[in-house]
Amino acid sequence: MTATRGLEGIVAAESKISSIIDDTLTYVGYNIDDLADNATFEEVVYLLWHTRLPKEDELAELTKQLAENAEVPQAIFDQFKSYPLQSVHPMAALRTAVSLLGVFDEEADDMSPEANYRKAIRLQAKIATVVTGFSRIRRGLEPVAPKPELGYAANFLYMLHGKEPQAIEVEAFNKALVLHADHELNASTFTARVCVATLSDVYSGITAAIGALKGPLHGGANEQVMKMLSEIGSIDKVESWVQNKLDNKEKIMGFGHRVYRKGDPRAKHLRVMSEKLTKLTGKPELYDMSVKIHDMVVGQKGLPANVDFFSASVYDSLGIEHDLFTPIFAVSRTSGWVAHILEQYANNRLIRPRAEYVGPGMQKYVPINER
């Protein structure tokens, strides 16, 4: 038995949800470029959960269900208020809140496909309220109740900022949600599938996935990109900062990918939105800095930007706190996690690989007083 480090290249599941073939990403056979330009996030949620695009009435029904289920138990917000709010990371708060949502869901352990679908809707609906509510409580504000007439993307920004967003902001945020929704067997999705393959419940699967997404090599990278941009501070400092990192063989966040070689097809959509929004908000230097970093890393390392790189300046332009970037990734990726969890249940087998043992050979037990 020989281990493959990081399971690189190992095919661990069959899936009908998304594919990455020759650097082209599709959700259920629809090219991500097509979806980014045309689809609402709700349509993508339906696509991932039903493996087909919705008809008008089906989309209306899903949108209605998401709106109707957006409120969360007051206990979630009360718990947030008891946290050390200056130090707790919103991903930790989110991980705990999703677990708590499971405690309040009377159907949490009902494993029927119907109950699992109802939980999927509740989770997707409530996770936006949880993330925005946490942000507001931390800022000393009360959570804003969702507005059912707004779509998912607009509602998120409304609940976060307490005012209805402009059309361009909704367009950018919807696009970001669409682009982050699913990505084949990435680390957090694999985590969710491993968890529920024991026939554990949906809430456990999503809680586990949030834990995996939090790390800076995965979803946590978008916050780190913004940290880097803030640390560099101005365009004249980019060259020396990046060169120093590259010379010291340090990683530049937002670059590289386990699967893509020529480039991540999602990055170009976020790059366009970043250019537009940074101009609109009077911070064009953020975009210019990003492009300069990009050109240096691509030029010297041949490493293309991944989805996290330009999403950072997009979210910053939308007035979003930097440590909320990864929770927003989780809000979107919940749709993909749920799709994979439902697919796993539908054709389940326990996921249990082997390890290559590299420890000592057979040893004889030595009593403690003789060691």
Site for ligand ACO in 218-247 (CB under 6 A): 218-219, 221
> Which residue out of 257, 269, 294, 340 is catalytically annotated?
257
Closest separation in Å from C-beta 367 to ligand OAA: 48
How many angstroms separate the CA atoms of 250 and 189, rounded? 27
How many angstroms separate the CA atoms of 313 and 81, rounded? 29
Using rule CB under 6 A, residue 39 touches ligand OAA? no
Residue selected from 54, 102, 256, 265 as contacting ligand ACO according to rule CB under 6 A: 256
Residue selected from 27, 77, 158, 255 as contacting ligand ACO according to rule CB under 6 A: 255
* Assigned token pair, 16: 């009908």
Residue 316 — left, alpha, or beta (φ > 0 → left; ψ -120 to 50 → alpha)? alpha
Using rule CB under 6 A, residue 183 touches ligand OAA? yes
The total number of residues shown for the chain amounts to 371
Closest CA to 47 of 74, 69, 29: 29
Residue nearest to ligand OAA (CB): 186
Q: Which among ligand ACO, ligand OAA, none contacts residue 140 (Cβ within 5 to 8 A by kind)? A: none
How many angstroms separate the CA atoms of 315 and 328, rounded? 9
Using rule CB under 6 A, residue 292 touches ligand OAA? no
- Residue 312: CB atoms within 10 A of its CB come to 28
Nearer CB in complex with ligand ACO: 129/186: 186
Number of residues lying near ligand ACO (CB under 6 A): 18
> Which residue out of 105, 308, 316, 340 is catalytically annotated?
308
| Residue 257: active-site member | yes
Using rule CB under 6 A, residue 330 touches ligand OAA? no
Q: How far is CA 31 from CA 36, 98, 335, in A?
A: 9, 31, 17
Nearer CB in complex with ligand ACO: 45/221: 221
* Assigned token pair, 225: 């990109």
Residue selected from 94, 128, 252, 289 as contacting ligand ACO according to rule CB under 6 A: 252
How many angstroms separate the CA atoms of 55 and 47, rounded? 11
How many angstroms separate the CA atoms of 311 and 142, rounded? 27
**Binding piece for ligand ACO, criterion CB under 6 A, among 127-135, 155-163, 194-202, 256-264:** 256-264
Residue selected from 2, 6, 10, 362 as contacting ligand ACO according to rule CB under 6 A: 6
Q: Which among ligand OAA, ligand ACO, none contacts residue 303 (Cβ within 5 to 8 A by kind)? A: ligand ACO
Closest CA to 48 of 25, 64, 69, 68: 25
Using rule CB under 6 A, residue 327 touches ligand ACO? no
Residue selected from 118, 251, 258, 292 as contacting ligand OAA according to rule CB under 6 A: 258
* Assigned token pair, 120: 């999927």
* Assigned token pair, 346: 């539908």
Q: Which among ligand OAA, ligand ACO, none contacts residue 141 (Cβ within 5 to 8 A by kind)? A: none
3-state SS assignment for residue 111: coil
How many angstroms separate the CA atoms of 180 and 44, rounded? 11
Using rule CB under 6 A, residue 186 touches ligand OAA? yes
> Per-residue x/- marks for ligand ACO, 279-318, CB under 6 A?
----------------------x-x--xxx----------
| Residue 322: active-site member | no
> Is 298 exposed, middle or buried, given 0-12, 13-18 or 19+ CB atoms closer than 10 A?
middle
Site for ligand OAA in 336-355 (CB under 6 A): none
How many angstroms separate the CA atoms of 102 and 207, rounded? 10
How many angstroms separate the CA atoms of 182 and 160, rounded? 23
Closest separation in Å from C-beta 43 to ligand ACO: 22
- Residue 61: CB atoms within 10 A of its CB come to 13
Binding site for ligand ACO (CB under 6 A): 6, 217-219, 221, 251-258, 301, 303, 306-308
Active centre residues (catalytic): 257, 308
Binding site for ligand OAA (CB under 6 A): 183, 186, 218, 258-259, 306-307
